[in-house]
Amino acid sequence: MNTILKKAVVVCCILSLWLAQYSFAQDYCFNCNADSLVQVLHKAKTDDEKIRLLTLLIDLKVFDVGSGESSKSDSLVLENVQSLIKLSAKQKVKNIDAYKSLSDALQSLVKKNYLAAQSSFIKSISLFDKSHRKIPRLLAAVRYTYNSAGNQEDRLRFYTDKLHYYLINGPFENVAPCYHGIGGYYLYKADYNKAISNYLRAAAIYKKFDNQPYLNDLGVIAMNYANWGNNEKALEYFKLAIAFNRIVKDNRTWNLIYNSLSGINRAYKNYPEALLYADSALVLNNNHYRTFMAISYVEKALTLICMNRLPEGLYNLNHAKQIADSTHTKVYTASGGMEIDFGYYQYYSAIKKYEEAGRSLKTAYEKAVDAKSNELQLKYLRELSFFYGEQLNVTLATEFMKKFFDLTDQLNLEHSSFKVAQYENEEKEILQNDSINVLKQHTAIQAATIKKSNTILWGSLIALIIISVSLFFVFRQYQLNKKILSSLRKTQRQLILSEKMASLGELTAGIAHEIQNPLNFVNNFSEINTELIAEMKLEIEAGNLEEVNAIASDIDANEKKITQHGKRADAIVKGMLQHSRSSTGVKEPANINALADEYLRLAYHGLRAKDKSFNATMKMDFDEGIGNINIIPQDIGRVILNLITNAFYAVTEKKQQLPVGYEPTVSVSTRRRNGKVEIKVADNGNGIPQKVLDKIFQPFFTTKPSGQGTGLGLSMSYEIITKGHGGELKVETKEGEGAEFTIILPV
Amino acid sequence: MKILVVDDERDIQTLFEQRFRKEIKDKTLEFAFAFSGEDALTYLNHPEHQTVLILSDINMPGMSGLELLRHIKQKYTAPPPLVMMITAYGDAENFNRAKELGADDFLTKPVDFNYLKEKFRQ
């Protein structure tokens, strides 16, 4: 069951990490459980995953390094950093140089070379800063090296510089450890006011992103209030810390809280509870944090001495001393004061061994001086002054009193009468300011909203105007286009009409000639018949019946000629009318050969009418088996006329270039082939140049001099054949040899 | 007197035969007909055509009357037959061109047969 649960937890962790990987652009997980990360890391398969998990783990675990609590934990972080460096050999790892410096720092820590560790840490931090990485826990870890190396002024300088840097450049998360580090400096200076103020600032920032340091700060604040003598405030923060620790469950902070609570209860002479808290701390510690353990033993001992349980007190003091000596812990630690010698002083005082008591208290003071803990120095100096006063040793009492005041002056402490950290007052102000700011913000937002609304209003208005204006122009353009379009249509109609008129013009001359001939016949035969009838009358009178019969036959034949030529003229006139009329679009059976023949003649005579010198050989080759096919006769006639006219035009042109030795020839042929009817109109003119070949069917394209052609002939022909009859109009040409147009009509 | 009439209109033959019925009967006039310039030349190439007058239309498909005129006047130097040109288009250009080529007379359609008879008589 347990293993199943563990597996479930691991799966959940992997899932959440996997989700986190896709949910967040930045790879930070300050509130992750380090143990879960380690488990996931063991199962990581890809290098990328390993690098990511190692980075996260180092972010978290670096918090405790150098605290002296656990060298095992320190070496684990070093291992992680070194695996990351190893991985960087085959895979790119961001900030690898920073990690290398971090590795140097951690190695220096193992050798207890704190100054070297410090400089490597600082180098690592400045390298991380180049990529603006969030490294709050690394920044926090550096403070231990200042405690261990004892260069507290450097600590203030470092954290102040970094604070200013991060406040300007970010990331904001890095600001919190700087405040914490500065707070530690003021604690060392026994300036509780400034110390607690800075811790409060750090806590306020940590609260937003990293629970463990936040909790730690709450504990530290409570402890310092207690040390400062404001137990109420201390309890307030302890309550906060306890409430919050139920969520975070950080054993280290529990130790801090329980040890502090033990001290506070002792101060209130609530000894059983003080004892309980010290014991609770020890149970919870479970041999994990040795410094805390030593402190707990001291707390327990001090309480026992107050309870007059002196041998037990001594036992616990000795135990604490054993641990402290083995870990080289100083009298003052980040986890709180390690007041073993003060304990001995109290023990010896209780058993009235004043010499040993005085010696122990002096040792305690000297150790405090050595640890540069002003807080403890002040406490011990005051105690020494009181002690020697009671011993009636005025000289020593005065001496220590003087030292106490000197130190007080030197530290230039600003003792707040209420012992409430400046920050808390500031915080109230901040809160007030915040509410003012909120109000201001609301006003600003309202103003902005109004402004925005106005902007939107104006914007809308402008947009409306623009749209209206555009619409107006569009409308104008539309009207203009409509006008242009209608005038274009008019022009188009005129052009089509003029094309019709042009072909009509070509026709008229031909028609005139064509009508003239039959009319001449009609007139002539009619005249002859009049003569013949007169002759016949004479012959009847003469009784020459044979002659009468012959004349009658002639009259009859002539009458037939008259009718024939009358009909011929009639057909021509009808054709002419048909041509000028717009197409009826009605297909009817028509003889394509007759049509071709008729229009060939019309075209020929039309040209002759215009150009008297014109002449050309006309070859006709009609397939008599075609019969009638369904076409729109006037349309097809127009096409044939067009093609023949063009052919005549082409040969005339060439004849003008070559007056001698060139026989202009236009041939028209019809064929029935593959169920289709082909009408070919060929000439032996100059042919169509390749560059204009693909343009000849385009409307308004013409090679004729301006005014001579509308450029619509072939385009209209093309339309008539393809759209009107579903046929094809093809052209084949060889430059200098002529052109051949083929109309292919489906039957 | 043998006259060759050249015209692409076939009915011209009937017309002439009717119009000059009497003359044909009297054998004062003899007519031959050709329906194109080419036909006319073929006929004239015959050594015993005995044609003294040629009446030719100008506007014909293929060889035109004017070309026929040119051929006749160039080939038959001694003694060339008289050539009378007939055209539907009584324009100066055709007239001048015909004269240049050596046409002996120039008539405009419709042909006035009485005038033609007068000419033949001359």
User: Which residue do the tokens 């063991």 mark?
Assistant: A42
Q: Which of A109, A101, A100, A122 is nearest to A71 (CA)?
A: A109
pLDDT of residue B120: 82
pLDDT tens digits, A593-623? 988 888 888 888 777 776 767 778 888 899 8
Return d(Cα B1, Cα B119) in angstroms, integer.
12
Return d(Cα A563, Cα A569) in angstroms, integer.
10
pLDDT band at A180 (very low <50, low <70, confident <90, very high): very high
pLDDT band at A350 (very low <50, low <70, confident <90, very high): confident
User: Residue A72 is inside which H or E element, if any?
Assistant: helix A71-87
Verify whether the Cβ–Cβ distance B64 to A615 is below 8 Å.
Answer: yes
Ranked by mean pLDDT, the top range of A334-338, A610-614, A662-666 is A662-666
Fold held by A152-248:
1.25.40
Verify whether the Cβ–Cβ distance B110 to A565 is below 8 Å.
Answer: no
**Which residue of A lies nearest to B92 if distances are taken between CA atoms?**
A612
The token duo for A584 is 């009826």
Q: Is A350 within 8 Å of A305 (Cβ atoms)?
A: yes
Q: Which of B5, B55, B18, B7 is nearest to A517 (CA)?
A: B7
pLDDT tens digits, A79-121? 888 888 888 888 888 888 888 888 898 888 888 888 898 999 9
Q: Return the percentage of chain A with pLDDT > 90, whole number.
A: 10
A610 touching B, CB under 8 A?
no
Return d(Cα A255, Cα A295) in angstroms, integer.
9
pLDDT of residue A511: 66
For an interface test with B, which of A508, A513, A516, A517 has the most B Cβ atoms less than 10 Å from its Cβ? A517
B3 touching A, CB under 8 A?
no
pLDDT of residue A26: 45
The token duo for A276 is 């309980």
pLDDT of residue A706: 52
B97 touching A, CB under 8 A?
yes
For an interface test with A, which of B18, B22, B94 has the most A Cβ atoms less than 10 Å from its Cβ? B18
Q: Please report residues of B whose CB lies closer than 8 A to that of A566.
A: none
Q: How far is B79 from chain A (nearest CA, A)?
A: 27
**Which residue of A lies nearest to B60 if distances are taken between CA atoms?**
A615
Quick check: A15 pLDDT over 60? no
From-to residues of CATH 1.25.40.10 in chain A: 152-248, 250-338
Q: Please report residues of A whose CB lies closer than 8 A to that of B15.
A: 521, 524-525, 528, 561
| Average pLDDT value for residue range A281-295 | 78
Q: Please report residues of A whose CB lies closer than 8 A to that of B10.
A: none
Quick check: A502 pLDDT over 70? no
| Average pLDDT value for residue range A498-521 | 69
Of the candidate ranges A236-245, A272-281, A361-370, B86-95, the one whose mean pLDDT is the lowest:
B86-95
Q: Would the ipTM clear 0.90, i.e. be above it? A: no
pLDDT of residue B56: 92
Verify whether the Cβ–Cβ distance A618 to B59 is below 8 Å.
Answer: no
Return d(Cα A397, Cα A385) in angstroms, integer.
4
Q: Please report residues of A whose CB lies closer than 8 A to that of B9.
A: 517, 521
pLDDT tens digits, B1-58? 889 999 988 888 988 988 888 888 888 889 999 998 888 988 888 877 788 889 998 8
pLDDT tens digits, A673-687? 888 999 999 999 999
Q: Note the pTM of the prediction, 2 decimals.
A: 0.44
Q: Is A588 within 8 Å of A630 (Cβ atoms)?
A: yes
Q: Please report residues of B whose CB lies closer than 8 A to that of A605.
A: 59
List the Cα angle A100/A101/A106 in 5-degree steps. 95
pLDDT of residue A248: 67
| Average pLDDT value for residue range A356-360 | 89
pLDDT of residue A24: 40
Could you tell me the residue range of the domain that residue B57 belongs to? 2-111
Q: Is A216 within 8 Å of A200 (Cβ atoms)?
A: no
> A369: which residues sit within 8 A by CB, 6+ positions away?
A377
More confident residue, A40 or A271: A271
pLDDT band at A25 (very low <50, low <70, confident <90, very high): very low
The shortest CB-CB distance from A516 to any of B18, B97, B109 is to B109
pLDDT of residue B32: 92
Q: How far is B53 from chain A (nearest CA, A)?
A: 22
> A450: which residues sit within 8 A by CB, 6+ positions away?
none
Indicate the DSSP class of residue B82: E
pLDDT of residue A19: 45
By DSSP bridging, strand A628-631 and strand A738-746 are unpaired
If contacts are CB pairs under 8 Å, which of residues 14-73 in chain B contact chain A? 14-15, 18-19, 21, 59, 61-64, 66-67
User: b vs e for A424-438, b when ≥16 Cβ sit within 10 Å of the residue's Cβ?
Assistant: beebeeeeeeeeeee
For all residues of chain A together, what is the average pLDDT? Answer: 81
Quick check: A579 pLDDT over 70? no
Q: Is A680 within 8 Å of A740 (Cβ atoms)?
A: yes
B13 touching A, CB under 8 A?
no
Distance, CA of A641 to chain centre? 67
pLDDT of residue B33: 93
From residue A278, give the alpha-carbon distance in Å to each of A259, A267, A383: 6, 14, 24
In a domain, B93, yes or no: yes
List the Cα angle A24/A29/A30 in 5-degree steps. 140
Q: How far is B98 from chain A (nearest CA, A)?
A: 11
pLDDT of residue A508: 64
Quick check: B76 pLDDT over 90? no
Say how many C-beta atoms besides its own lie within 10 A of residue A216's C-beta: 26
pLDDT tens digits, A535-577? 899 999 998 888 899 889 989 999 998 998 888 888 777 766 6
pLDDT of residue A122: 92
Quick check: A652 pLDDT over 70? yes
pLDDT of residue A451: 76
First vs last C-alpha separation in chain A: 92
User: Which residue do the tokens 């003080």 mark?
Assistant: A274
Query: What length does chain B have?
Result: 122
- The reply to whether CATH 1.25.40.10 applies to domain A250-338 is yes
pLDDT band at A416 (very low <50, low <70, confident <90, very high): very low
Q: Please report residues of A whose CB lies closer than 8 A to that of B97.
A: 612-613
pLDDT of residue A27: 65
Q: Which of A276, A287, A207 is nearest to A248 (CA)?
A: A207
Q: Please report residues of A whose CB lies closer than 8 A to that of B109.
A: 516-517, 520
The shortest CB-CB distance from A612 to any of B14, B21, B93 is to B93
In a domain, B28, yes or no: yes
Q: What is the CATH number of the domain that holds B90?
A: 3.40.50.2300
Say how many C-beta atoms besides its own lie within 10 A of residue B84's C-beta: 21
pLDDT of residue A422: 63
- The reply to whether CATH 3.30.565.10 applies to domain A589-746 is yes
pLDDT of residue A23: 39
| Average pLDDT value for residue range A208-212 | 84
**Which residue of A lies nearest to B98 if distances are taken between CA atoms?**
A613
Quick check: A515 pLDDT over 50? yes
Of the candidate ranges A147-151, A295-299, A490-494, A629-633, the one whose mean pLDDT is the lowest:
A490-494
For all residues of chain B together, what is the average pLDDT? Answer: 84
From-to residues of CATH 3.30.565.10 in chain A: 589-746
B117 touching A, CB under 8 A?
no
User: Which residue do the tokens 């001594």 mark?
Assistant: A314
Return d(Cα A298, Cα A280) in angstroms, integer.
14
In a domain, B88, yes or no: yes
* Total structural domains within chain B: 1
pLDDT band at A736 (very low <50, low <70, confident <90, very high): confident
Return d(Cα A60, Cα A136) in angstroms, integer.
9
pLDDT of residue A745: 92
A570 phi/psi in degrees, rounded to 5? -60, -45
Verify whether the Cβ–Cβ distance A618 to B67 is below 8 Å.
Answer: no
Return d(Cα A526, Cα A29) in angstroms, integer.
123
User: Which residue do the tokens 């109290």 mark?
Assistant: A346
